[in-house]
Chains A and B, each alone.
Chain A
Amino acid sequence: GNSVTQMEGPVTLSEEAFLTINCTYTATGYPSLFWYVQYPGEGLQLLLKATKADDKGSNKGFEATYRKETTSFHLEKGSVQVSDSAVYFCALSRRDTGNQFYFGTGTSLTVIP
Chain B
Amino acid sequence: DADVTQTPRNRITKTGKRIMLECSQTKGHDRMYWYRQDPGLGLRLIYYSFDVKDINKGEISDGYSVSRQAQAKFSLSLESAIPNQTALYFCATSDFGVGGQETQYFGPGTRLLVL
Contacts and interface: CB of A to CB of B under 8 A. Distances in A.
Interface of A: 32, 34, 36, 41-46, 49, 51, 89, 93, 95, 99-101, 103-106
Interface residues of B, number: 24
B106 interface: yes
A72 B106 CA distance: 24
Given A105-B40, A105-B41, A32 B109 contact: no
Contact of A44 (B48, B101, B106): B106
B4 A99 contact: no
B7 to A, nearest CB: 14
A50 B112 CA distance: 33
B86 interface: no
Given A43-B90, A49-B101, A103 B43 contact: yes
Contacts of A106: 42
